[in-house]
Amino acid sequence: MTYPKIPLAQTVVQLCKAKHIKHIVISPGSRNAPLTIGFTHDPFFKCYSIVDERCAAFFALGIAQQLQEPTAVVCTSGSALLNYYPAVAEAYYSDIPLVVLSADRPKHLIGVGDGQTINQKNVFENHILYSANLKLDLKDEKHVPEHEELPLLKNLEDKFERLLGLQKDIQTHNEEETNLAINFARFKNGPVHINVPFDEPLYETVDTLSVTPKVIDVKTKPVKIEDYVLQSCLEDWNSASKKMILVGVNGPNQIEKKWLDELAEDDSVIVLTETTSNLHHPSFFPSIDQLIAPLTDKEKQELQPDILVTFGGLIVSKKIKQLLRKHKPKHHWHIDNKKANDTFFCLDTHIEKAPNAFFELFLPRVTHYVKSNYKPTWTAVKQSRLNKHKVYLERIPFSDFKVFSTVLKTIPNHYILQSGNSSTIRYTQLFKIDKTLKVFCNRGTSGIDGSTSTAIGCAVANKKPTVCITGDLSFLYDSNALWNSHIPKNFRIIVMNNQGGGIFRILPGHKNTENFDTYFETNHRLTANHLCDMYGFKYESASDELSLESALKTFYSEADQPKLLEVFTPKNINDQVLLDYFEFLK
């Protein structure tokens, strides 16, 4: 087999292999050639070539999101590395194991005006679990000419011994740091950065390995909940008549059904779920904004829980944040074996367990159900909202609101739905999602800058049919995502084109002015048609109910290329239709 000649490259590649990092996303470059040679010549690795580093990192994020396994991205030196930052930040806040492998110049070439060189050491320090800065291998000592005299030869041998010892120290450092970084990614679930300096020549290869790096495993101990903490929680739970469970981003099938059923039986408990929670039960409360938006201040006080229990990732709904920050619960527990965000400024207990593990310890010890009308009262409100929701849909014109209602009903069972951010995920929250769908969204930083790339990575890793619903600005911003030769034929994109950032029309501010149209909404007349021609997508469009229903009939059928459906909606009424919806619910 072919290997890079440089021992440092061999070390990094072999440790990635030993720690089962199989998927390697490589952006072309020269300085990273030793790593590229190592990864692409070993059949263990599945390598992908993606030119745009920002797209490459989000593509890798989508793979890691689905597999829940570390996925590596490899780039050359210089600004290439900085293009990874948006995905690194998303991985940091979404607990996704992303391994960044950046090639670097030797230390003596940094800060002297050499090309394609920046300060790469600790460049992600505010959004990374661990930064490993590896050391440059020493160059091979030249052979001493035969005519040199013995004293000189002895001096050179002494020097060689010292250099050999120094190289061993460097090798040990590089092995330990690489092991540590990958272990952090795997066991702490998040991004790590391994900065790898290489000196020229970069392309030399050998047939045998010159190093056998040591593999350092991690021994983890389960965190035990102290008895007094569990007992205190049980006492508070058993006495509270209003308990709210709020679930943010949560992977599919992560919570056992028996615990969901048990929570659903308790009239003192209401479970609020977001679309990204992937939790479904007839007694739960999806569409949080639909429930809360019409409430008076008195009703909000009645909804205020005694105990708030949260688990999962970040929350989409601004309305529930506003309510719970103003009407704080007496107790807020967050269940997560890694971290707890004080989102509502009243967190008093961080339960360092996975939700399933906590419920298994906790729920069997709950002695009785408190008599309460908490859930029955709000269940009646929920049903009233659903009735009005149906009536409203029948009376509104073609708009974003109506399109989401239509599109979400037609996604085939067992699909993966990747939602874009901003208005896309917020509209999606207002509708019932089929329980067979698995829903994902980059809510760690809530940015629009990689939704399509992430969705494609997801589709490649999961191999299940995947549909990405995204806004026009998000799609155009990430259009290089389509510059990717790995896109499955069953991948689908739906672009909601309202000719700009429609969500800004919902926010306070002066609308329909030149300043607003240019600097906030960002008016445009661009479409995805020519991009589809260039990148080999089958393009379809719709601009009214009839053409939308017609397009959706065949949109998910098998084809010899991926498909994109662009839906044009009237930007001048979209915001009013949505605002009127919440008024109508009142």
Express each pLDDT in 286-333 by its tens digit: 999 999 999 999 999 999 999 999 999 999 999 999 999 999 999 999
Contact 410, 581 (CB under 8 A): no
- Interval 24-38: pLDDT, tens: 999 999 999 999 999
Report the range of poorest mean pLDDT among 155-169, 258-272, 528-542: 155-169
pLDDT tops 90 at residue 161: no
- What is the model's pLDDT at position 142? 42
Percent pLDDT > 70 in the chain is: 92
Task: Give long-range contacts, CB 8 A cutoff, 24+ apart: 412-417.
Answer: 412/465, 412/556, 413/437, 414/464, 414/465, 415/464, 415/465, 415/466, 415/467, 415/556, 416/440, 416/458, 416/459, 416/462, 416/464, 416/465, 416/466, 416/467, 417/466, 417/467, 417/469
Other C-beta atoms within 10 Å of 432: how many? 14
Q: Which of 309, 344, 378 is the last residue of a domain?
A: 378
Rounded to the nearest 10 degrees, the angle between the axes of helix 451-462 and helix 53-67 is 40
- What is the model's pLDDT at position 376? 97
**CB proximity list for 132: less than 8 A, separation 6 or greater:** 177, 178, 180, 181, 192, 193, 194, 195
Domain membership flag for residue 391: no
- What is the model's pLDDT at position 170? 95
Are 308 and 264 within one domain? Answer: yes
- What is the model's pLDDT at position 369? 87
Are 168 and 256 within one domain? Answer: no
User: CA–CA separation, 163 vs 92, rounded Å?
Assistant: 39
Are 233 and 111 within one domain? Answer: no
- Interval 468-514: pLDDT, tens: 999 999 999 999 999 999 999 999 999 999 987 666 666 666 666 76
**CB proximity list for 162: less than 8 A, separation 6 or greater:** none
What CATH number does the domain containing 243 carry?
3.40.50.1220
User: CA–CA separation, 487 vs 492, rounded Å?
Assistant: 10
Are 238 and 163 within one domain? Answer: no
83: exposed, middle or buried (Cβ count in 10 Å: 0-12, 13-18, 19+)? middle
Are 178 and 253 within one domain? Answer: no
Rounded to 5 degrees, what are φ and ψ at 565? -115, 120
Q: How far is CA 217 from the centre of its chain?
A: 26
Other C-beta atoms within 10 Å of 234: how many? 14
- What is the model's pLDDT at position 360? 95
Report the range of poorest mean pLDDT among 163-172, 222-231, 393-402, 437-446: 163-172
- What is the model's pLDDT at position 148? 45
Please give the structure tokens belonging to residue 140: 């091979």
Contact 553, 585 (CB under 8 A): no
Are 363 and 452 within one domain? Answer: no
User: CA–CA separation, 577 vs 320, rounded Å?
Assistant: 22
Domain membership flag for residue 74: yes
Domain membership flag for residue 390: no
User: CA–CA separation, 433 vs 275, rounded Å?
Assistant: 7
- State how beta strands 349-351 and 130-133 pair: unpaired
Are 254 and 182 within one domain? Answer: no
Average pLDDT over residues 73-78: 97
Higher pLDDT, 166 or 202: 202
> 126 — alpha (psi -120 to 50), left (phi > 0) or beta?
alpha
pLDDT tops 50 at residue 81: yes
- What is the model's pLDDT at position 519? 67
Are 253 and 178 within one domain? Answer: no
- Interval 531-584: pLDDT, tens: 999 999 999 999 999 999 999 999 999 999 999 999 999 988 999 999 999 999
Q: What band does 165 get if pLDDT is binned at 50, 70 and 90? A: confident
Please give the structure tokens belonging to residue 104: 């670097």
pLDDT tops 80 at residue 149: no
What CATH number does the domain containing 130 carry?
3.40.50.970
Average pLDDT over residues 97-104: 98
- What is the model's pLDDT at position 139? 76
- What is the model's pLDDT at position 517? 66
Query: For the chain, how many residues are written?
Result: 586
Higher pLDDT, 335 or 513: 335
First to last CA, the chain: 70
Q: What band does 162 get if pLDDT is binned at 50, 70 and 90? A: low
Give me the helices (H) in 411-450, please.
Answer: 423-428
- Which residue range is the domain that position 449 belongs to? 396-585
- What is the model's pLDDT at position 150? 53
User: CA–CA separation, 77 vs 190, rounded Å?
Assistant: 22
Contact 408, 428 (CB under 8 A): yes
- What is the model's pLDDT at position 504? 61
- Interval 358-385: pLDDT, tens: 999 999 999 888 999 999 999 999 999 9
pLDDT tops 50 at residue 144: no
Please give the structure tokens belonging to residue 248: 């943010």
Task: Give the count of domains, the chain.
Answer: 3
Q: Which of 352, 378, 404 is the last residue of a domain?
A: 378
Percent pLDDT > 90 in the chain is: 85
- Interval 346-358: pLDDT, tens: 999 999 999 999 9
Are 232 and 197 within one domain? Answer: no
User: CA–CA separation, 310 vs 313, rounded Å?
Assistant: 9
Are 349 and 285 within one domain? Answer: yes
SS (H, E, C) 539-558: EEEECCHHHHHHHHHHHCCC
Q: How far is CA 115 from the centre of its chain?
A: 33
pLDDT tops 60 at residue 153: no
Nearest to 271 by CA among 345, 368, 382: 382
pTM of the prediction? 0.93
Question: Positive or negative CA dihedral for 259, 262, 264, 270?
Answer: negative
329: exposed, middle or buried (Cβ count in 10 Å: 0-12, 13-18, 19+)? buried
Domain membership flag for residue 384: no
Contact 311, 334 (CB under 8 A): yes
Domain membership flag for residue 481: yes
Other C-beta atoms within 10 Å of 390: how many? 9
Domain membership flag for residue 212: no
Domain membership flag for residue 157: yes
Are 402 and 447 within one domain? Answer: yes
pLDDT tops 60 at residue 154: no
Average pLDDT over residues 133-160: 61
Are 559 and 432 within one domain? Answer: yes
Please give the structure tokens belonging to residue 329: 């619960």
Domain membership flag for residue 46: yes
